C-alpha cells in the first residue's frame, strides 16, 4: 500500500525507501527497506527478526508526525506487542490501515482503540460468524485446568504458538503456575522485548540439549515449526496443545496429533471485527487479509460500503515462516 502524498509505503513487500510498519510479523515487516518507521515497542522486535543494522525510527501511540504534509499516527491494535493501526490524515481526509488487530483485551498487549476515519482498511482473518472468542479469564481457566490435569498425570504441558505474540500471550495466561521453558526463537524475542522495557513474565530457555528431568511435568512453549523436530520428540511425557483461533473449528485433538486445542487468537473475532468497523464510522471499508470476499459481502448486507482489497498478507496463526529461527 502506497501513500502518494506522503511518498511512503505501509507494510510493503518489495524493497522501498520509506516503509511504515504496523507490527513485527513476517507478513508485515520485511527485510530490505531503506528506512523503517514503527511503534516504539516494535523496534527491538524488528531488529531481532530482520537485522541489527536496520535504519528504524519510532513513534509512540497517539503522537502524530507530519511526513510530506500527511499527518501519520499510530494507535493500539491489540494484536501483539508493539502492533499499531496506522492513521493518515491529509487535507481533512482520514484513512486508517488496521494492520492486524484484536479488540478483546488480554493480559499483555496494549488494548485496541477504535479510530474514527473516512476510510478504513480492515483485516478479516476470522471474518465469519462462527468465530467468537471466549474471555481471557475463561481461556485462562481452561489452560489452568488442562495444566493441572497434566501435572496430576506427571505429564509435561507443551503449548504450541508462534514466537511473536502468541508465545507472550500464553506466557501471560500461564504465568505463576509453574516454571515455564521456551524455545530459543521465543527466548530471543522475549529478550528483545524485555530490553526495550516492556514487562513480560519470566521464562527459562529450553536449551537444545535440555535435561529431561528438568522439564518433566513443567510447562513448555514452542513455535509450530518445532512440532516434528527431534528436540520436540525428546520432551518427556508431553501433552501438546495447539493455541490458535483455528482451533475453534478444526477437530482439535486430531490436528497434527495434538492432545488439545485452545482457541487463543491474536486477531479479532466476528463480533470484534463488526464492532471495530462500526466504531470507525467509516464511509467505506476495504477488507483484506483473510476472508475478504465473504466478509465484505456481509458488510454490504449490513449497509456498510465495503470492498475487497487483495494483498499478500497471510495468516501467521499456524502456517508461518518461523522455520528459519526454529531449527534448534
Ligand atoms: Zn500479525
Ligand atoms: Zn498479518
Residue ranges per domain, the chain?
2-130+266-325, 136-262
Q: Which 3 state secondary structure label does DSSP give 17?
A: coil
Whether residue 323 is predicted with pLDDT greater than 50 in this model: the reply is no
What percent of the chain shows pLDDT beyond 90? Answer: 88
Per-residue model confidence as pLDDT tens digits over 15-33 = 999 999 999 999 999 999 9
Whether residue 225 is predicted with pLDDT greater than 50 in this model: the reply is yes
Stretch 135-154: mean pLDDT, rounded? 97
- Ligand with the closest atom to the CA of 165: 1
Per-residue model confidence as pLDDT tens digits over 150-176 = 999 999 999 999 999 999 999 999 999
Q: How far does the centroid of ligand 1 lie from the alpha carbon of residue 212, in Å?
A: 33
Q: How far does the centroid of ligand 1 lie from the alpha carbon of residue 282, in Å?
A: 23
Q: How far does the centroid of ligand 2 lie from the alpha carbon of residue 317, in Å?
A: 9
- Ligand with the closest atom to the CA of 314: 2
Q: How far does the centroid of ligand 1 lie from the alpha carbon of residue 172, in Å?
A: 18
Look-up of cell digits 519510532:
58
Q: How far does the centroid of ligand 2 lie from the alpha carbon of residue 126, in Å?
A: 12
- pLDDT in the model for residue 242: 92
Q: Is the pTM of this model over 0.85?
A: yes
- Per-residue pLDDT band at 291 (split at 50, 70, 90): confident
Stretch 254-264: mean pLDDT, rounded? 81
What's the whole-number average pLDDT of the chain? 92
Q: How far does the centroid of ligand 2 lie from the alpha carbon of residue 81, in Å?
A: 14
- What's the CA angle centered on 17, arms 14 and 23, to 5 degrees? 65
Q: How far does the centroid of ligand 1 lie from the alpha carbon of residue 243, in Å?
A: 15
Q: How far does the centroid of ligand 1 lie from the alpha carbon of residue 92, in Å?
A: 29
Report CA-CA distances (Å) from 170 to 109, 132, 157, 164. Answer: 12, 19, 12, 11
Q: Which CATH number fits domain 136-262: 3.20.20.70, 3.30.43.10, 3.40.50.300, 3.40.50.10710?
A: 3.40.50.10710
Q: Which of 165, 166, 210 is nearest to 184 (CA)?
A: 210
Per-residue model confidence as pLDDT tens digits over 64-123 = 999 999 999 999 999 999 999 999 999 999 999 999 999 999 999 999 999 999 999 999
What percent of the chain shows pLDDT beyond 70? Answer: 93
Stretch 35-50: mean pLDDT, rounded? 97
Backbone angles phi, psi at 159, to 5 degrees: -100, 135
Cβ neighbors of 59 (< 8 A, separation 6 or more) are 37, 38, 39, 40, 65, 72, 73, 74
Ion ligand 1 — residues with CB < 5 Å: 25, 100
Q: Which of 11, 9, 14 is nearest to 28 (CA)?
A: 11
- pLDDT in the model for residue 320: 38
Whether residue 289 is predicted with pLDDT greater than 80 in this model: the reply is yes
Stretch 190-206: mean pLDDT, rounded? 95
Q: How far does the centroid of ligand 2 lie from the alpha carbon of residue 238, in Å?
A: 30
- Per-residue pLDDT band at 322 (split at 50, 70, 90): very low
Q: Which 3 state secondary structure label does DSSP give 209?
A: coil
Q: How far does the centroid of ligand 1 lie from the alpha carbon of residue 79, in Å?
A: 7
Q: What is the rounded (10 degree) CA torsion for 250, 252, 256, 257? A: -150
Q: How far does the centroid of ligand 2 lie from the alpha carbon of residue 41, in Å?
A: 17
Q: How many whole angstroms separate alpha carbon 265 and alpha carbon 244?
A: 5
Q: Which CATH number fits domain 2-130+266-325: 1.20.140.10, 3.30.70.100, 2.40.30.10, 3.60.15.10?
A: 3.60.15.10
- pLDDT in the model for residue 251: 55
Amino acid at each position: 500500500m502506497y501513500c502518494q502524498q506522503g511518498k511512503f509505503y505501509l507494510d510493503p513487500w518489495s524493497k522501498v525507501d520509506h516503509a511504515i510498519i504496523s507490527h513485527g510479523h513476517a507478513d508485515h515487516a520485511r527485510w530490505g527497506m531503506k528506512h523503517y518507521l514503527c511503534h516504539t515497542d516494535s523496534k527491538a522486535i524488528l531488529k531481532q527478526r530482520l537485522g541489527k543494522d536496520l535504519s528504524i525510527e519510532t513513534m509512540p501511540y497517539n503522537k502524530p508526525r507530519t511526513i510530506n504534509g500527511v499527518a501519520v499516527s499510530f494507535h493500539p491494535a491489540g494484536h501483539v506487542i508493539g502492533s499499531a493501526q496506522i492513521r493518515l490524515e491529509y487535507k481533512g481526509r482520514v484513512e486508517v490501515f488496521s494492520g492486524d488487530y484484536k479488540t478483546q483485551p488480554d493480559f499483555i498487549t496494549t488494548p485496541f482503540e477504535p479510530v474514527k476515519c473516512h476510510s478504513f482498511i480492515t483485516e478479516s482473518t476470522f471474518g465469519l460468524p462462527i468465530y467468537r472468542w471466549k474471555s481471557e479469564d475463561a481461556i485462562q481457566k481452561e489452560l489452568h485446568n488442562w495444566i493441572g490435569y497434566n501435572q496430576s498425570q506427571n505429564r509435561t504441558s507443551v503449548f504450541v504458538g508462534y514466537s511473536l505474540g502468541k508465545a507472550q500471550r500464553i506466557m501471560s495466561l500461564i504465568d505463576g503456575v509453574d516454571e515455564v521453558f521456551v524455545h530459543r526463537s521465543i527466548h530471543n524475542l522475549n529478550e528483545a522485548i524485555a530490553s526495550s522495557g516492556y514487562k513480560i513474565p519470566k521464562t527459562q530457555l529450553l536449551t537444545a540439549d535440555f535435561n529431561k528431568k528438568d522439564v518433566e511435568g513443567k510447562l513448555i512453549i514452542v513455535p509450530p515449526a518445532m512440532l516434528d523436530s527431534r528436540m520436540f520428540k525428546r520432551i518427556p511425557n508431553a501433552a501438546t496443545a495447539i493455541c490458535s483461533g483455528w482451533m475453534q473449528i478444526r477437530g482439535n485433538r486430531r490436528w497434527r496429533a495434538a492432545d488439545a486445542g485452545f482457541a487463543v487468537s491474536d486477531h479479532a473475532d466476528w463480533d470484534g471485527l463488526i464492532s471495530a468497523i462500526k466504531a470507525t464510522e467509516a464511509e467505506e471499508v476495504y477488507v483484506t487479509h483473510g476472508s475478504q470476499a465473504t466478509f465484505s459481502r456481509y458488510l454490504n448486507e449490513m449497509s456498510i460500503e465495503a470492498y475487497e482489497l487483495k494483498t499478500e498478507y497471510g495468516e501467521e496463526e499456524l502456517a508461518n515462516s518461523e522455520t528459519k529461527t526454529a531449527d534448534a
